[in-house]
């Protein structure tokens, strides 16, 4: 048996080797680039802790506690910031900035997952070589272990695809480098390197996992193509789903997956990944938990709900629907006590720039502009804000990204809307694995906020505001 010190030395050596081993040419790998940027961030955090730990940056109001913690600044998340009026920025870059600067796939125009991941992880815009190298690395690591394939194949076809995805992702932790290294005993400063390896393996395997679920549930008996080592992550995913011949669909999925990748840290899926990761559960377990947060209708499931709602409207009202008819349908939905899916947001107070980017995509494709479903989405977005304002409840009456995302998939032939959140699940991994890597690199602690009872809250109010009755 190895002595503890011998073992630690061998882990150290293998950690160094692991950083270098994924290099393909003279281009620095994502891991090598990360290794260079981590020390400055660690230093920044150290300084914040040493100099400003006790600085007060806001108040906690009763409304924060009973209102789902809205607006409470309570977690660190480096990769993106969501401004209520202007929307998301990834390390300072807006969506149009990213569309201009990030490398597309060969022959494509839209942002790809690899270049977005590089930006999220490092804060740097990758070169084309770096992006291609990452695509290659992901393609090489993308095969599923045989037991996971068997596990997925054994699940009932009636089990919701999101439940299946969570099961598959959790099962991948069988090969977790982080868990194995932790069990053997590694230093905290080395956590990130193993967590990063798991994160990359997880992302690499998501397309095969998600596509297998699609084939099992909706196209049983059809042949799932092998990973093409020359394709980017989403190019492979689209191909494995069976839509590889449709360049428009491939480009749409590239854009959709890159744009949905990260939306700062407080949303339910991102926050869940961070919370579970903070227990030092490995990235597979942490992301599996996040997927189940994504599976709720107020979060990721909204894209399937939008399509269901739009189709019900179309069925009831027929073709060539007028704005007045849509208005009436919207009121009917609201009066029956339901939310209008695809509208509103926990943070945003303007139209979602991701919605605008997807609308722009639609407007650049004549076949989409001719689609009655897409036309209905557009018309609805012209009427719904006025109705929701008059209704007077929602703080944001504008469309969010889900108002259109599923309808485009439907048009291109991916009509099984219960599957749509799975695609979101492939995408949201980009932000969550970035955080899971950085949380370990920065040594962030176990998350553990304080809860209070209503009685305790009343007492706290009385002691802070003695004159309140």
Ligand X SMILES: CC(C)(COP(=O)(O)OP(=O)(O)OC[C@H]1O[C@@H](n2cnc3c(N)ncnc32)[C@H](O)[C@@H]1OP(=O)(O)O)[C@@H](O)C(=O)NCCC(=O)NCCS
Q: Is 52 a catalytic residue?
A: no
Q: How far apart are CA 404 and CA 306, in angstroms?
A: 8
CA dist 171 and 148 (Å) reads 7
Tell me the three state secondary structure of residue 5: helix
Smallest gap from residue 343 Cβ to ligand X (A): 4
| By the rule CB under 6 A, 332 interacts with ligand X | no
Angle at 206 between CA 267 and CA 431, to 5 degrees: 30
CB 109 within 8 A of CB 251: yes
Catalytic option among 91, 271, 299, 411: 299
With CB under 6 A as the contact rule, the residue among 87, 126, 261, 346 that binds ligand X is 346
Which residue's Cβ has the minimum distance to ligand X? Answer: 344
Query: Is 437 one of the binding residues for ligand X (CB under 6 A)?
Result: no
Q: Does 345 engage in binding with ligand X (CB under 6 A)?
A: yes
353 in contact with ligand X (CB under 6 A): no
Measured CA angle at 18 (ends 12, 24), to 5 deg? 150
**How many other β-carbons are positioned within 10 Å of the β-carbon of residue 322?**
11
Quick check: 420 and 161 in contact, CB under 8 A?
no
Instruction: Indicate which single residue of 341, 406, 425, 431 sits in contact with ligand X (rule: CB under 6 A).
Output: 341
Q: Give the interface segment with ligand X, choosing from 74-82, 232-240, 336-344, 440-448 (CB under 6 A).
A: 336-344
- Which one of the listed residues 345, 352, 391, 411 is annotated catalytic? 345
Between residues 101 and 395, which has the closer beta carbon with respect to ligand X? 395
Q: How far is the CB of 86 from ligand X (least distance, A)?
A: 16
Closest to ligand X by CB, 22 vs 421, is 421
- Of 82 and 285, the one with the shorter C-beta distance to ligand X is 82
Give the residue among 163, 141, 139 at the shortest CA–CA distance from 151.
163
Nearest Cα to Cα of residue 285 among 213, 202, 210, 187: 202
CB of 393 to ligand X, least distance (A): 3
**Using CB under 6 A, which of 177, 402, 422, 429 touches ligand X?**
402
Binding ligand X (rule: CB under 6 A), the pick from 72, 74, 339, 442 is 339
Give the list of residues 6+ apart from residue 134 with CB closer than 8 angstroms, or none. Answer: 29, 30, 114, 117, 118, 126
Shortest separation between residue 274's beta carbon and ligand X, angstroms: 18
Q: What angle do CA 175, 178, 183 make, to 5 degrees?
A: 95
State the minimum distance, in angstroms, from the CB of residue 296 to ligand X.
9
Q: Are residues 428 and 300 in contact, defined by beta-carbon separation less than 8 angstroms? A: yes
Among residues 232 and 402, whose Cβ is nearest to ligand X? 402
Q: Which C-beta is closer to ligand X: that of 137 or that of 262?
A: 262
Kindly tell me which residue out of 180, 298, 369, 461 binds ligand X, with binding defined by CB under 6 A. 298
The total of other beta-carbon atoms located within 10 Å of residue 230's CB is 12
What is d(CA 123, CA 93) in angstroms, rounded to the nearest whole number? Answer: 10
Half-sphere exposure of 315 (CA within 13 A, CB side): 6
Which residue among 197, 198, 402, 411 is the active-site one? Answer: 402
Question: What x-and-dash track marks residues 368-397 binding ligand X by CB under 6 A?
Answer: -------------------------xxxx-
Other Cβ atoms within 10 Å of 30 Cβ, number = 22
Residue listed under structure tokens 């720039």? 353
224: tokens are 């799932």
Least distance between ligand X and beta carbon 298 (Å): 4
Stretch near ligand X under the rule CB under 6 A, chosen from 98-106, 124-132, 133-141, 341-349: 341-349
Which CB sits closer to ligand X, 235 or 341? 341
Span 302-331, contacts to ligand X by CB under 6 A: 302
Do residues 95 and 353 lie in contact, with contact meaning Cβ atoms separated by under 8 Å?
yes
User: CA nearest 399: which of 334, 349, 325, 331?
Assistant: 349
Three-state secondary-structure class, residue 319: coil
* Shortest separation between residue 345's beta carbon and ligand X, angstroms: 5
Answer yes or no: are the C-beta atoms of 362 and 404 closer than 8 Å.
Answer: yes
In this chain, which of 135, 400, 404, 435 binds ligand X, going by CB under 6 A? Answer: 400
Q: Which stretch binds ligand X (CB under 6 A): 58-66, 152-160, 207-215, 337-345?
A: 337-345
Q: Is 299 a catalytic residue?
A: yes
Provide, rounded to whole angstroms, the least separation between the CB of residue 330 and ligand X: 9
Choose the binding region for ligand X from 73-81, 230-238, 334-342, 446-454 (rule: CB under 6 A): 334-342
CB of 160 to ligand X, least distance (A): 17
Structure tokens at 142: 């993308």
Number of residues that bind ligand X (CB under 6 A): 17
Nearer to ligand X, 336 or 467 (CB): 336
Q: Residue 440, CB half-sphere, CA atoms under 13 Å: how many?
A: 33
Which of these, 447, 31, 56, lies nearest to 270 by C-alpha position? 447
Q: How many C-beta atoms surround the C-beta of residue 379 within 10 A?
A: 15
Residues belonging to the active site: 299, 345, 402
Interface ranges with ligand X (CB under 6 A): 298, 302, 334, 339-346, 393-396, 400, 402
């Amino acid at each position: 048996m190895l002595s503890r010190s011998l073992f630690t030395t061998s882990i150290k050596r293998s950690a160094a080797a692991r950083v270098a081993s994924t290099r393909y040419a003279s281009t620095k790998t994502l891991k090598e680039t990360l290794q260079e940027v981590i020390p400055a961030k660690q230093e920044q955090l150290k300084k914040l802790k040493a100099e400003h730990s006790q600085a007060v940056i806001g108040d906690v109001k009763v409304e924060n506690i009973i209102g789902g913690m809205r607006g409470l600044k309570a977690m660190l998340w480096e990769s993106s910031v969501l401004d209520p009026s202007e929307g998301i920025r990834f390390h300072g870059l807006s969506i149009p900035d990213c569309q201009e600067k990030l490398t597309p796939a060969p022959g494509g125009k839209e942002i790809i997952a690899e270049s977005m991941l590089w930006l999220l992880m490092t804060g740097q815009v990758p070169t084309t070589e770096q992006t291609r190298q990452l695509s290659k690395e992901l393609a090489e690591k993308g095969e599923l272990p045989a037991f996971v394939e068997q596990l997925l194949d054994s699940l009932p076809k009636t089990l919701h695809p999101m439940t299946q995805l969570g099961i598959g992702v959790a099962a991948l932790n069988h090969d977790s480098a982080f868990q194995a290294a932790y069990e053997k005993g590694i230093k905290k400063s080395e956590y990130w390197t193993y967590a990063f390896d798991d994160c990359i393996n997880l992302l690499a395997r998501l397309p095969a996992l998600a596509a297998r679920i699609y084939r099992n549930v909706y196209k049983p008996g059809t042949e799932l193509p092998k990973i093409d080592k020359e394709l980017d992550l989403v190019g492979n995913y689209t191909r494995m789903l069976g839509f590889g011949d449709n360049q428009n669909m491939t480009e749409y999925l590239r854009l959709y997956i890159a744009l949905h990748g990260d939306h700062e840290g407080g949303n339910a899926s991102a926050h869940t990944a961070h919370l579970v990761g903070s227990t030092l559960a490995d990235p597979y377990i942490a992301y599996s938990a996040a997927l189940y947060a994504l599976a709720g209708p107020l979060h990721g499931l909204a894209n399937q709900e939008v399509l269901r709602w739009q189709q019900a409207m179309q069925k009831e009202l027929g073709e060539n629907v007028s704005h007045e008819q849509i208005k009436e349908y919207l009121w009917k939905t609201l009066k029956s006590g339901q939310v209008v899916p695809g509208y509103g947001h926990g943070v945003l107070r303007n139209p979602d720039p991701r919605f605008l980017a997807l609308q722009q995509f639609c407007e650049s494709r004549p076949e989409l502009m001719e689609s009655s479903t897409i036309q209905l989405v557009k018309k609805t977005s012209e009427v719904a804000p006025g109705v929701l304002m008059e209704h007077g409840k929602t703080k944001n009456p504008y469309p969010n990204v889900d108002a259109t995302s599923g309808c485009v998939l439907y048009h291109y032939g991916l009509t099984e809307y219960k599957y749509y959140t799975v695609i979101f699940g492939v995408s949201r991994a980009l932000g969550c694995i970035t955080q899971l890597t950085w949380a370990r690199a920065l040594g962030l602690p176990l998350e553990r906020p304080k809860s209070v009872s209503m009685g305790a809250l009343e007492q706290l109010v009385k002691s802070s505001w003695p004159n309140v009755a």
